[in-house]
Amino acid sequence: QDKLISVTWDDGKTTNYPHIYLRDNCRCSSCFDPQTQQRSISNAVYHNYANATIKTARVDDKNDKLYLEWINDGEHTTSNFELDWLKAHRSITYDDIEVNPVTKQLWGSEMKNNLPQFDYNKILNDDSELHRWVRCMLKVGISLLVGLPEDIGQVKKFVNRVAYLRKTCYGSTFKIHTDKGDDLTTIAYKNGGLAMHTDLVYYESVPGILLLHCLRPAKQGGENQVADGFKAAEQLKASHPEYFDILTKYAIRYQDEGTDVGLSNFNQIAYHPVIRLNYNGDIKQIAYADHARCSKLIAPSDKVLSFYNAMTQFLQYAYDPANMVQFKLQSGCMIALDNYRIMHGRTGFEESADSIRFIEGGYVDWDEALSRMRVIEK
């Protein structure tokens, strides 16, 4: 049974701290490095705190500290904690507000008339606007940036404002246009329709945010299609829980192999379930790209039919007119998509020799975007 020490705060509320928790989080110089704000490894690895027991405890109101004396803890005899630190850790389990700083808002076709819009230059020059953009991406997973110059390099400039580009087998950024001749390495560079998907699912670590800057749209066709994969998954869970369960349990093998211009050969392979859950059982990621899906399934033979039925039902929700949004990205605009959540595709298009559709894209990882948001908040 946990040994506890109770602290009653000015608001009358009481927090019970387990002895082992306070011992593990001792802030003395032997246990914690104040310069790096990290634990000292030797104590965490070699010391067993299970028998550590608080012998005495006293509060120093002058210094706003709690002083503890330990027994059964080897040579370690004392600890002290700033009261502010203890108050910040009144809940010793994970803080949902910290893990999920923004409540996700599921959306459908109504997003077409409510697409969040941001001024590109304002984000480049205003931390509060950059912060607002990251929170928007957390909330709805999609935004439109306007006012971009119509030349190459704006994706890199924008991502460098957030953090840095995520380099992939297609380079630091990639250019989507059809005049590559025999150098085509992905079906996305052709002018046919492209089914809705999430990007780079053949990577174990899938990039978090996708940015697509339109330098020149197609004269005819080439309309963007997007859908909230989280909403489609939640609808599947409500209507066909057995299908939802299948898509969380069994993985698809994704592969992309080729050579990109100026880069080396690549052969990317990864396995992902269509719906990935987090430690709390909530939807964390949608990973689906039909064009990169291999013929091998990680599912027992008696589940294959159900697996296909589950994928079909999931896609029916994604393509439901009540859920999907279709629009055409124009020159000087950039769409940002949460690549863990938003499925995107396009209709086929026609072009002439003097009018080639041209899109530049790139990625930034969620880890870096969230880090930037926290730094701004601090």
Instruction: Kindly tell me if the per-residue pLDDT of 29 is higher than 60.
Output: yes
Instruction: Output phi, psi for 309, to 5 deg.
Output: -65, -40
- Give the model's pLDDT for residue 97: 58
CATH topology of domain 4-93: NE0471 N-terminal domain-like (3.30.2020)
Domain locations in the chain as residue ranges: 4-93, 109-377
- Check whether 184 has a pLDDT greater than 70: no
Q: Which of 71-80, 270-279, 363-372 has the lowest mean pLDDT?
A: 71-80
Does residue 41 register a pLDDT over 70? Answer: no
d(CA 357, CA 340): 26
Q: In which region does residue 275 sit, left (phi positive, over 0), alpha (psi from -120 to 50) or beta (all else)?
A: beta
| CA gap 151, 16 in Å, rounded | 59
The pLDDT-based confidence of 167 (bands split at 50, 70, 90) is very high
| pLDDT average, residue stretch 45-54 | 75
The pLDDT score that the predictor gives to residue 92 is 66
Q: Could you read off the pLDDT of 317-369 as tens digits, one per residue?
A: 999 999 999 999 999 999 999 999 999 999 987 777 677 788 999 999 999 99
Strand duo 117-119 + 325-327: pairing: unpaired
Paired sense of beta strands 251-259 and 265-273, if any: antiparallel
- Judge whether residue 186 has pLDDT over 70: no
Position 60 scores a pLDDT of 92
343 three-state secondary structure: strand
Q: Around Cβ 279, how many Cβ atoms within 10 Å?
A: 8
pLDDT digits (tens, 9 = 90+) for 81-91: 999 999 989 87
Q: How far apart are CA 337 and CA 122, in angstroms?
A: 19
What is the C-alpha to C-alpha distance for residues 226 and 318, in angstroms, rounded to an integer? 9
pTM: 0.86
Answer whether CATH 3.60.130.10 is correct for domain 109-377. Answer: yes
CA distance 268 to 256: 5
Reported confidence tier of residue 221, pLDDT bands at 50, 70, 90: confident
